[in-house]
Amino acid sequence: MSHDAETAMNTDQKLVYMANQIATFFKSMPEDEALAGVAKHINDFWDPRMRRRLRELIDAGGDGLLPLVLSASSDVRWPEPAN
Amino acid sequence: MSFVKEIDYGTPASKAEKTVTLSVDGKQVTVPEGTSIMRAAMDAGIEIPKLCATDMLESFGSCRVCLVEIEGRGGTPASCTTPVAEGIEVHTRSDRLDAIRKGVMELYVSDHPSAWNEQRGTGASEFDHVAEQVGLTENRYGTDGRNHVEPGVAPGEGSLNIDYIARDESNPYFTYDASQCIVCSRCVRACEEVQGTFALTVEGRGFESRISAGMHEDDFLGSECVSCGACVQACPTDALREKTVLEQGMPDRSVVTTCAYCGVGCSFKAEMKGDDVVRMVPYKDGKANRGHSCVKGRFAWGYASHKDRILNPMVREKITDPWREVSWEEAFSHVAGEFKRLQEKYGRGSIGGITSSRCTNEETYLVQKLVRQGFGNNNVDTCARVCHSPTGYGLKTTLGTSAGTQDFDSVEHTDVVMVIGANPTDGHPVFASRLKKRLRQGAKLIVVDPRRIDLVRQAHVEASHHLPLKPGTNVAVLTALANVIVTEGLHDETFIRERCDWSEFEDYAAFLAEPQNSPEEVEKVSGVPAETIRQAARLYARGGNGAIYYGLGVTEHSQGSTTVMAIANLAMLTGNYGRPGVGVNPLRGQNNVQGACDMGSFPHELPGYRHMSDDATRDIFEKMWDVKLDAEPGLRIPNMLDAAVDGSFKGIYIQGEDILQSDPNTHHVAAGLEAMECVVVHDLFLNETANYAHVFLPGSTFLEKDGTFTNAERRINLVRKVMEPKNGLADWEVTQRLAQEMGLGWSYSHPSEIMNEIAATTPSFANVTYELLNSEGSVQWPCNDRAPKGTPVMHIGGFVRGKGKLIRTDYVATDEKSGPRFPLLLTTGRILSQYNVGAQTRRTDNVVWHHEDRLEIHPHDAEQRGVRDGDWVRIASRAGETTLRALITDRVAPGVVYTTFHHPDTQANVVTTDYSDWATNCPEYKVTAVQISPSNGPTDWQEEYEELTKKSRRIAGHMEAAE
């Protein structure tokens, strides 16, 4: 079996990748629209545990996230941290 | 017992507006100009005997049975080829006509014996009916014609006549018996006019005239015949006849219902004898198919009674245990107990459900209701996630509604058709036949597809332009088409000013004009010559009514949603909305993809595409369901699997979907399923996903339940129960019993009550009732007070969202790139005879056309790797590897390979990756970087998997695994 360890993403890597994909779509728009677009998309389509994990990743430095995701994060509706 | 009788008017309806009044046997009748006398007579209730005429085909005038007399005109003209005229007096009966008809029929009879083992055929024969109609009583010429077999002697037993030809039994579903044939050419014309394949012809002259499939040496199976059944339906004798009719005799009752295969949603008459289906015959009043069918709907329904069907609920503790058959009560109480346990232990969000695009609207509605009301979360998704979720997002964003804009009839008014990432002759064959008919009338065709699909060039159809783009470059090519339209001033400014936001247009136009969007630059990434892009753009923009039809080659990409928006934009720039003949039309994969999406199957929205966060919408359902709904979006299928691997998602109810086979990166799907504690599979068969299931709930087929399917045109068609569920419960009853066991007070006694609830809560379905569907045949949503009988064409006079949205569509190359290790790009698709994961069609005789998935590879790439046609090859990607046999063909470009995914032993999705659409997580099936090398046979994984499958299908008390 040649499941390629170096390219298979874990959930954290996928969240970062997906957030960046969203930002990449909106980045050709004017900045305010792009920021609102990224935040709304994540609010509309990501279940709370995905958003919570993204928050944790951002709090831990946000490695790998595009600047647009980081800037948009203030408009994302962050769920309560897991207990 | 009722038998649905359809009137055959003999010739097609005239579309003329001017009418003509004539008299037929003294009766006054008014018909559109151009109508044949035969049809006008039938309108007046007078049936003129006929053999070579039928209203599915243009008149031909060869049989000389339908003759009439017209006052003041000489002779006895054929009523099928003679048009009506004002004031004429037609007589259909006279001594002269009777004598001529009898004489003609007597000649036919002399060369048309009963079949060798039957006295009067099967009763399906129109010929026998006509013989009776004209009062034929004698045959003075004898019955030992040259092509007859001696009565009572079987073929091959030594007493055949000189021209006798043995029956052609090669097609698994119908026979051709030349001795029964009267050479009326109805089959030949049906193959041309209705199906558009041109597989049949008449060879020879006089007594030697024979119908021939393909070349003289071909039989039906070996010819180009696609087994659509149009010829069998057209045949007025038993020359072409369904084998089931020959074996079982004529059916004695029939019920109109809807096919459960693709998103065309054809109407059929299920013709029955007792509780057995004898045949499925396409229904002429079906507005999606207009009396036509394909090999799947017409013939491939045998899976419904296949021995592999599981009819009893089953439970097992561990997935390594054999299955244990249990009662329904035990199964429901086990599932309810497990789901409650999981929620108590791991939290409310730890379980979820998947609705099926193969089940009815009512069943889908109930599954999402169970999740939202009963599980108390929004973890519900549907297989549309992996096919058309980008259509939902893209069309909602640009137009305001997540659906195609037209009905299928619209294609009759189209001048330029653009087919993007779809292969209609294989995936949506009945629509393809209607499309080809329009193309033969002169409409122009543009094909945008990496592969040279059949539509690019076949009998009497040739695309004006084929844009063979590199997989993954859809957005670049569509943006380049828009670039040409805007920079050359071909856009429809009046339409844009009226229907869109002009400043958005200016912004979009500025974006389009940027250098990277020019055809010359896009040629570099897509491989499509700039000049071809320019010519295609000009044709689409200025060729008249332009209609776009697209499929999963558009959606199943990292930029799937962007491509859908680019398509919507292209039609906006050129004013192609809001009238027949234009629009944007997603061709839906499964029978009820549209319906599953409409019914609130997605985790972020309630029925009618209303977001969970919308207080007013939640309020409607909270009152109706007496529950507090979660306003947060739930998990999508890929997110569920990730959460399962991470340990926060533990149980799932899967209705009618085989995610292990159909979803990408099989290893990841398997890992997710394996990590769950209660996987409930509700299906007809022990599918691949069931290898990882703890509970199996047997499903019912579309023949065994009432409900509705919504096809690609938003058409809500009734599905009618023609037999009792073999497993005892229709699928909606299974979900209801499970809900009751979980404490919900559901009490639906019929699916029509579920539809009433849908109508009461969902504005676009407000006026839909079973009574309306019964009286209208079908309706297209929106169906409400503003459109009481539905909406064939949307966005007339304005877009649903108000102004159409033009949105920047920046091309972003996928990260799934070819390189030194994986130099080829794999893309996937379907074939005509098989359907999706093949669970149904593999259990029919359709396997004679396609019994294994093959890897299409260009001769150049094959030679470099030492691969010959038919060799086993290993195909490896970053995600995994599998093996299958090679098919060397130049239909694919160098650098591209292609395969289908119908067979579980191939496991094409072992190689597809986790990459997905940015907006919807729809997997990027259509682009995987791979390497190909010669191989000796199946991989270890394939062998291990086969072993696992065998093991996981053991049922305690049964001798062997079910498959």
Q: Which residues of B touch A1 (CB under 8 A)?
A: 667, 880-881, 940-941
pLDDT of residue B39: 98
Q: How many residues does chain A have?
A: 83
Mean pLDDT, to the nearest integer, of B308-320? 95
Q: Of B378, B808, B914, which has the smallest distance from its Cβ to A14's Cβ?
A: B914
Q: Do B633 and A46 touch (CB under 8 A)?
A: yes
Mean pLDDT, to the nearest integer, of B17-28? 96
pLDDT of residue B115: 44
- Tokens standing for B66? 């339908």
Mean pLDDT, to the nearest integer, of B855-861? 96
pLDDT of residue B665: 83
Local structure of B164: helix, strand or coil: coil
- What are the residue ranges spanned by the domains of chain B? 326-387+593-776, 389-586, 824-952
Residue B145 binned pLDDT confidence (cut-offs 50, 70, 90): low
CB atoms within 10 A of CB B190: 25
Category of B125 on φ-ψ map: left (φ > 0), alpha (ψ -120 to 50) or beta? beta
Instruction: Work out whether strand B324-325 and strand B69-70 pair parallel, antiparallel, or are unpaired.
Output: unpaired
Beta-bridge mates of residue B280: B270
CA distance to partner chain B, nearest, from residue A77 (Å): 10
For helices B751-761 and B361-369, give the axis angle rounded to 10 degrees.
70
Q: Which residues of A touch B379 (CB under 8 A)?
A: 47
- Tokens standing for B911? 């190689």
Beta-bridge mates of residue B417: B445, B547
- Over 80: is that where the pLDDT of B157 sits? no
CA distances from B489 to B134, B482, B510, B547 (A): 66, 10, 13, 20
Better pLDDT: B178 or B746: B746
Residue A37 in any domain: the answer is yes
Mutation test of the interface with chain A: which of B351, B378, B398, B632, choosing the one with the most A Cβ atoms within 10 A? B632
Q: Do A47 and B812 touch (CB under 8 A)?
A: no
Chain A contact present for B636, CB below 8 A: yes
Q: Please check whether residue B577 is in contact with residue B405, taking contact to mean a CB–CB distance below 8 angstroms.
A: yes
DSSP class of residue B891 equals T
pLDDT digits (tens, 9 = 90+) for B567-590: 999 999 999 999 999 999 999 888
Residue B802 burial (10 A CB sphere; 0-12, 13-18, 19+): exposed
Residue B454: which residues within 8 A CB-CB, separation 6 or more? B423, B425, B426
CB atoms within 10 A of CB B499: 19
CA distance to partner chain B, nearest, from residue A8 (Å): 7
Residue B961 binned pLDDT confidence (cut-offs 50, 70, 90): very low
- Over 80: is that where the pLDDT of B593 sits? yes
Measured distance CA(B178)–CA(B116) in Å, rounded: 12
* Range of weakest confidence among B421-425, B506-510, B922-926: B922-926
Residue A67 in any domain: the answer is yes
Chain A contact present for B410, CB below 8 A: no
- Tokens standing for B65? 């049975």
Q: Which residue has the tokens 């007399």?
A: B69
pLDDT of residue B119: 47
Quote the mean pLDDT of chain B. Answer: 92
Q: Which secondary structure element, helix H or strand E, spans residue B643, and what is its range?
A: helix B637-646
Mean pLDDT, to the nearest integer, of B360-364? 97
Q: Do B920 and A45 touch (CB under 8 A)?
A: yes
Q: Please check whether residue B543 is in contact with residue B459, taking contact to mean a CB–CB distance below 8 angstroms.
A: no
Q: Do A47 and B379 touch (CB under 8 A)?
A: yes
pTM over cut 0.90: yes
Q: Which residues of B touch A29 (CB under 8 A)?
A: 808
pLDDT of residue B938: 84
Interface of A with B (CB under 8 A): 1-4, 7-9, 11, 14, 18, 21-22, 24-25, 27-29, 41, 43-50, 79
Cα angle for residues B361, B701, B240 (degrees, 5° grid): 115
CA distance to partner chain B, nearest, from residue A36 (Å): 15
Q: Do A44 and B558 touch (CB under 8 A)?
A: no
Q: Of A2, A11, A43, which has the smallest distance from its Cβ to B876's Cβ?
A: A2
- Over 70: is that where the pLDDT of B133 sits? yes
Q: Do A48 and B378 touch (CB under 8 A)?
A: no
- Over 70: is that where the pLDDT of B153 sits? no
- Over 90: is that where the pLDDT of B355 sits? yes
Q: Please check whether residue B825 is in contact with residue B895, taking contact to mean a CB–CB distance below 8 angstroms.
A: yes
Residue A23 in any domain: the answer is yes
Mean pLDDT, to the nearest integer, of B554-574? 96
CB atoms within 10 A of CB B624: 13
Chain A contact present for B389, CB below 8 A: no
Q: Where are the alpha helices (H) located in B762-800, listed in sequence order?
A: 770-776
Percent of chain B with pLDDT over 90: 81
Q: Of A27, A41, A47, which has the smallest distance from its Cβ to B919's Cβ?
A: A41
CA distance to partner chain A, nearest, from residue B627 (Å): 20
Residue A7 binned pLDDT confidence (cut-offs 50, 70, 90): low
Fold (topology level) of B389-586: Dimethylsulfoxide Reductase; domain 2 (3.40.228)
CA distance to partner chain B, nearest, from residue A2 (Å): 5
CB atoms within 10 A of CB B307: 7
Residue A71 in any domain: the answer is yes
Closest CA to B346 of B338, B334, B356: B338
Mean pLDDT, to the nearest integer, of B791-800? 94
Residue A74: which residues within 8 A CB-CB, separation 6 or more? A39
Within this chain, domains B326-387+593-776 and B389-586 share the same CATH topology: no
Q: A39 lies in which domain range?
A: 11-75
Closest CA to B463 of B405, B523, B422, B515: B422
Category of B26 on φ-ψ map: left (φ > 0), alpha (ψ -120 to 50) or beta? left
Better pLDDT: B456 or B945: B456
Measured distance CA(B91)–CA(B72) in Å, rounded: 12
Q: Which residues of A touch B643 (CB under 8 A)?
A: 11, 49
The amino acid present at B789, given as its one-letter code, is K
Q: Do A2 and B880 touch (CB under 8 A)?
A: yes
Residue A26 in any domain: the answer is yes
Q: Please check whether residue B694 is in contact with residue B679, taking contact to mean a CB–CB distance below 8 angstroms.
A: yes
Q: What is the CATH number of domain B824-952?
A: 2.40.40.20
* Range of weakest confidence among B41-55, B136-150, B236-250, B387-401: B136-150
pLDDT of residue B901: 84
- Tokens standing for B733? 């009853």
Architecture of domain B326-387+593-776: 3-Layer(aba) Sandwich (3.40)
Residue A83 in any domain: the answer is no
CA distance to partner chain A, nearest, from residue B944 (Å): 11
Percent of chain B with pLDDT over 70: 96
Chain A contact present for B376, CB below 8 A: no
Residue B208 binned pLDDT confidence (cut-offs 50, 70, 90): confident
For helices B474-487 and B519-526, give the axis angle rounded to 10 degrees.
170
Residue B114 binned pLDDT confidence (cut-offs 50, 70, 90): low
Chain A contact present for B554, CB below 8 A: no
Local structure of B298: helix, strand or coil: helix
DSSP class of residue B882 equals E
Measured distance CA(B425)–CA(B430) in Å, rounded: 8
Q: Do A45 and B633 touch (CB under 8 A)?
A: yes
Q: Which residues of A touch B879 (CB under 8 A)?
A: 3-4, 8
Q: Please check whether residue B532 is in contact with residue B443, taking contact to mean a CB–CB distance below 8 angstroms.
A: no
pLDDT of residue A1: 37
Closest CA to B273 of B303, B251, B295: B251
Overall domain count for chain A = 1
Q: Please check whether residue A32 is in contact with residue A68, taking contact to mean a CB–CB distance below 8 angstroms.
A: no
Mean pLDDT, to the nearest integer, of B96-100? 95
Residue A5 in any domain: the answer is no
Cα angle for residues B280, B286, B289 (degrees, 5° grid): 80
Q: Do B378 and A3 touch (CB under 8 A)?
A: no
CA distance to partner chain B, nearest, from residue A34 (Å): 12
Measured distance CA(B186)–CA(B58) in Å, rounded: 10
CA distance to partner chain A, nearest, from residue B349 (Å): 9
Q: Which residues of B touch A46 (CB under 8 A)?
A: 633
Q: Do A47 and B920 touch (CB under 8 A)?
A: no
- Over 70: is that where the pLDDT of A73 sits? yes
Q: Do A18 and B918 touch (CB under 8 A)?
A: yes
Residue B962 binned pLDDT confidence (cut-offs 50, 70, 90): very low
pLDDT of residue B139: 80
CB pairs under 8 A between A and B: 76
User: In what order do the strands lie in the sheet containing B276-282?
Assistant: B253-258, B267-273, B276-282
Mean pLDDT, to the nearest integer, of B317-324? 94
Mutation test of the interface with chain B: which of A2, A12, A38, A47, choosing the one with the most B Cβ atoms within 10 A? A47
Q: Please check whether residue B181 is in contact with residue B210, taking contact to mean a CB–CB distance below 8 angstroms.
A: yes
Q: Which residues of A touch B918 (CB under 8 A)?
A: 18, 21-22, 24-25
Instruction: Note the Cα B433 to chain centre separation in Å.
Output: 12
